[in-house]
Amino acid sequence: MPQFRYSARGAGGAPTSGTLAAQDQKDALAQLRRQGVTPLSLEEEGKVKKPSGGLFQSKKDPKPRLKGDDLVIFTRQFATMISAGIPILEALSILSEQTEDPGFRRALERIVEGIRGGGDLSESFGLYPKIFPPIYTNMVKAGEASGKLDEILQRLAEYQESTAAIKREVKSAMMYPAISMFLILGITVFLMLYVVPIFKKLFDSLHADLPAPTKLVLAVSGFLTSQGLWVLAGIILAVVGFIAYRRTPAGHYRVDVMMLRLPVCGPLIKKIALARFSRTFSTLIQSGVPMLGALEIVSSTAGNQVIERAVLHARDAVRQGDPLAKPLGEAPVFPSMVVRMVAIGEKTGALETLLSKIAEFYEQQVSATVKGLTALIEPILISVMGAIVGCVVAAIFLPIFQLPAQIGKKH
């Protein structure tokens, strides 16, 4: 009978490790569950890994272009078919025929070929990381091992829906400010490049003494008119340089640190990252993914380098035998409430439940914060637009109102 080497954490949080005999990984996980411990890692001794299956891929295949909730719908349909007793190969064949995207359809056909050739479902999914991210393949792998693939697929679809809901809410909230800022800049540039120069010619022909606000507006308009291309080139270079800098490891980390410290958006970004961390971690633990593997996946899906490094540090500490709450408490990015609930979850053996509660709390916080910011940003942007246009108009018409007095003095 195969031997499985495991490391786990008991109900009281004490680390434990050893080997056990089991028929397969599913049986090994069931034995650990009956013992009341949380698996950290589980590997079969002496197992030779199967080939990656790269022969099933082809560079000539069209690239998958999934839209919106395509993967969520696929996951829901796949779970329904599996729970109805339809074999995996037949379910995938049916779904590939229903798929409109040619790249996704070809990928599913390749996956069917791989499974028929002896590969696992999770390994075949893993050949297409742009379609099936690591969390997807690892949860499918846990579903294969536990024999509850349909339940885990349903849980995976729920996770994807909750994650997509947060993204949609944030994007829809940022859409109005983005459009408003574009209009403000467009109106300002139009006034400075096309309207103000007309009045400048009028003022020059009258040789009128101009007030300070008008001189300032005319100076800005003249600068943009003569140096506008250089200003535009400078802005483009600055944006390209920022993007290039952010793509470097050090730059990416510093930018993420700066984003967390922003006065208004920083707390929102932190709440989104914590909600994603908690929801992903909870979903993986509930699905039977060992804690070390779950932490590895969570770090790559955190969306922020600060949290990613903190999670990786926590993974290393857990591997060395420390409780998870200890390294999380040492990271400033994790609030004390999160750390304490994780500690309680480790001691009581209900870590996934408490992580789910944390995720719900921060998702509600994100929703409330987004609604508050939306209600606050709208009047601010309207005020900014009115102030800019009002100042330009006032600076232009102020000399016109003063012209009769100046002409009277000359006569």
For residues 368 and 376, what is the distance between their CA atoms, to the nearest angstrom?
12
Do 300 and 259 have their domain in common? Answer: yes
Judge whether 153 lies within some domain: no
Do 257 and 176 have their domain in common? Answer: yes
| Domain final residue pick, 86, 114, 132 | 132
**What pLDDT is attached to residue 113?**
85
| Residue span of the structural domain in which 11 resides | 3-44
For residues 338 and 75, what is the distance between their CA atoms, to the nearest angstrom?
30
| Total domains in the fold of the chain | 3
Do 81 and 210 have their domain in common? Answer: no
DSSP-assigned letter for residue 195: I
For residues 293 and 4, what is the distance between their CA atoms, to the nearest angstrom?
16
**What pLDDT is attached to residue 12?**
56
Do 35 and 74 have their domain in common? Answer: no
Greater model confidence, 407 or 125: 125
Contact 39, 290 (CB under 8 A): yes
**What pLDDT is attached to residue 354?**
92
Judge whether 112 lies within some domain: yes
Do 266 and 406 have their domain in common? Answer: yes
**What pLDDT is attached to residue 313?**
92
- Binned at pLDDT 50, 70 and 90, residue 284 comes out as confident
**What pLDDT is attached to residue 1?**
77
pLDDT (average), residues 110-138: 84
For residues 361 and 54, what is the distance between their CA atoms, to the nearest angstrom?
42
Do 58 and 40 have their domain in common? Answer: no
Judge whether 141 lies within some domain: no
pLDDT (average), residues 185-205: 84
Do 106 and 176 have their domain in common? Answer: no
For residues 309 and 302, what is the distance between their CA atoms, to the nearest angstrom?
10
**What pLDDT is attached to residue 357?**
92
First-to-last C-alpha distance (Å) of the chain? 113
Do 350 and 370 have their domain in common? Answer: yes
Do 357 and 381 have their domain in common? Answer: yes
Question: How far from 88 is each of 56, 79, 82, 195, 297, CA to CA, in Å?
Answer: 18, 10, 7, 67, 25
Question: How far from 49 is each of 53, 113, 119, 123, CA to CA, in Å?
Answer: 11, 19, 11, 11
**What pLDDT is attached to residue 296?**
85
Do 28 and 108 have their domain in common? Answer: no
pLDDT (average), residues 151-172: 82
Judge whether 191 lies within some domain: yes
CB neighbour list of residue 34: distance below 8 Å, 6 or more residues apart: none
Do 359 and 211 have their domain in common? Answer: yes
Task: State the amino acid at position 404 in one-letter form.
Answer: P
Do 398 and 274 have their domain in common? Answer: yes
pLDDT (average), residues 291-306: 84
Judge whether 140 lies within some domain: no
Q: What is the mean pLDDT of the chain?
A: 82
pLDDT (average), residues 12-39: 74
Choose the most confident range, by mean pLDDT, from 237-251, 291-305, 370-384: 237-251
For residues 319 and 290, what is the distance between their CA atoms, to the nearest angstrom?
12
| Domain final residue pick, 93, 117, 132 | 132
pLDDT (average), residues 245-269: 88
Strand pairing report for 38-44 and 3-9: antiparallel
Judge whether 147 lies within some domain: no
Span 300-346, pLDDT tens digits:
777 788 988 999 999 999 888 889 999 999 988 899 999 999 999 88
Judge whether 214 lies within some domain: yes
Look at the chain and count its residues. 411
DSSP-assigned letter for residue 23: S
**What pLDDT is attached to residue 404?**
65
Span 32-72, pLDDT tens digits:
777 776 666 677 776 644 444 444 555 667 788 877 678 88
Greater model confidence, 6 or 324: 324
CATH of the domain at 118: 1.20.81.30
| Domain final residue pick, 78, 111, 132 | 132
Judge whether 304 lies within some domain: yes
3-state SS string for 103-146: HHHHHHHHHHHHHHCCCCHHHHHHCCCCCCCHHHHHHHHHHHHH
